[in-house]
Amino acid sequence: MSSTVDPFSELKSRQRDMWASFAPTAAFTTPVAAHLVDFAQVKPGETVLDVGTGTGVVAITAARAGASVTGLDLTPALLDVARENAQIARLATVQWFEGDAENLPFPDGQFDVVLSQFGHMFAPRPDVAVAEMRRVLKPDGRVAFATWPPEHFVGRMFAFVGKNSPPPPPGAAPPPQWGSPGTVAERLGDKFEAPFFSRGIMHFPALSLSHYREFAERSMGPMQKLMEASAEEPERLAALRSEFETLAAPYYSANMIRMEYLLTRARAR
C-alpha cells in the first residue's frame, strides 16, 4: 500500500472508463476461469485474491471450489456486475474491492493464492504489480495468471489498436509482453521460484467476421475507444474495420475466433 503520487493515474482513469462495457465479453472468459483455477490448484479453505476480477468470473469459480475469495478491480461498473453474479451463485462471502493492481489495499501476507485472468497485464508497471502481488502473498503462497501472447490473435489485436491510437505515456509496458514465457520468468525474477507454464484456447463464437467486429466495437474497451475516436472520419473508420477483419480472418473458422492464451503458475520465494 503506497501513498506516493501515481504517475499513471490518468492512464488508469482512462482504463476505468474503457473497461466499463466489458460485461458481455465475460461470457467468453468464463471457461478460461475454470482452466486457470484448476491450473492454480486452488484448494478448499485457501485465501484467494483475484486481481482485475472484472465481473468476477475467476473469483466466483474459485469460491465455488471452496476458497475464501476477494476480488479487486479498477472499474466499479464491472464490480456491480460481479456482486450480482455472486448473489446469483449464492456466494455472498466473496468480498469485492475497487482498487489498483499496483497499489493493493491489503496488508502483507494475507493470501495463499493471487490469481489474475487478463487483468494485471494492463497495469502499466509490471515490476510494481509483481511486487504488490508478492507482498500480499503468504511466504509459501503462489501466483497464477492467464495472459495474451503477442504472437496470437488477441496480442495482434492489441498491436493493431496500439499502432492506430495515440501513444501510451512513456514507461507503460505493452500488456501482451505478459504473454511471453521468457519475459514472465524475468519479471517474476527473484521474488518467485521458476514458473510453470501451460496454454489454452478461448473460442469466441461469431456468426461472421463482421459480427465479431461489431461485438468488439461495443464490448472490448480498446477496440471500442479506437473506433469511437474515428467515428467522424468515415473513410478512416471503414479502413480500420477492413484491416481488423483481415487480421481476424486467419483465426476464424467453424463460426469461432480462436484465441490462444498462456497460463503461468509460480510459488513465492
Ligand X SMILES: C[S@@+](CC[C@H](N)C(=O)[O-])C[C@H]1O[C@@H](n2cnc3c(N)ncnc32)[C@H](O)[C@@H]1O
Least distance between ligand X and beta carbon 232 (Å): 27
Does 132 interact with ligand X (rule: CB under 6 A)? Answer: no
Instruction: Please work out the total of residues on this chain that contact ligand X, with binding judged by CB under 6 A.
Output: 24
Compare residues 29 and 264 and give the one whose CB is closer to ligand X: 29
All cell numbers assigned to 200: 489454452
Does 12 interact with ligand X (rule: CB under 6 A)? Answer: yes
Q: How far apart, in whole angstroms, are the C-alpha atoms of residue 206 and residue 229?
A: 25
Q: Are 102 and 11 in contact (CB under 8 A)?
A: no
Q: Where are the beta strands (DSSP E) in the chain?
A: 47-51, 68-73, 95-98, 111-117, 137-147, 196-205, 252-253, 256-267
Does 261 interact with ligand X (rule: CB under 6 A)? Answer: no
CA distances from 53 to 46, 138, 164, 176, 216 (A): 18, 20, 28, 18, 20
**Judged by CB under 6 A, which stretch of 49-57, 134-142, 180-188, 204-212 contacts ligand X?**
49-57
- Give the count of beta carbons closer than 10 Å to the beta carbon of residue 84: 13
Q: Judged by CB under 6 A, which of 21, 29, 61, 85 binds ligand X?
A: 29
Compare residues 70 and 117 and give the one whose CB is closer to ligand X: 117
Least distance between ligand X and beta carbon 118 (Å): 4
Least distance between ligand X and beta carbon 168 (Å): 12
CA angle centred on 233, ends 228 and 234, rounded to 5° = 100
Least distance between ligand X and beta carbon 252 (Å): 20
CA 178 to chain centroid, in Å, comes to 10
Site string for ligand X, 192-221 (x = CB under 6 A): ------------------------------
Measured N-to-C along each axis, helices 26-39 and 57-64 cross at an angle, to the nearest 10 degrees, of: 40
Q: Are 29 and 57 in contact (CB under 8 A)?
A: yes
Least distance between ligand X and beta carbon 223 (Å): 12
Q: Judged by CB under 6 A, which of 85, 119, 154, 223 binds ligand X?
A: 119
The residue number whose beta carbon is nearest to ligand X equals: 54
Write out the binding residues for ligand X, residues 50-109 only, by CB under 6 A.
51-54, 57-58, 73-75, 78, 100-102
The secondary structure of residue 71, as a DSSP letter, is: E
Does 123 interact with ligand X (rule: CB under 6 A)? Answer: yes
Q: How many residues does the chain have?
A: 269
Q: Which residues bind ligand X (CB under 6 A)?
A: 12, 15, 19, 22, 26, 29, 51-54, 57-58, 73-75, 78, 100-102, 117-119, 122-123
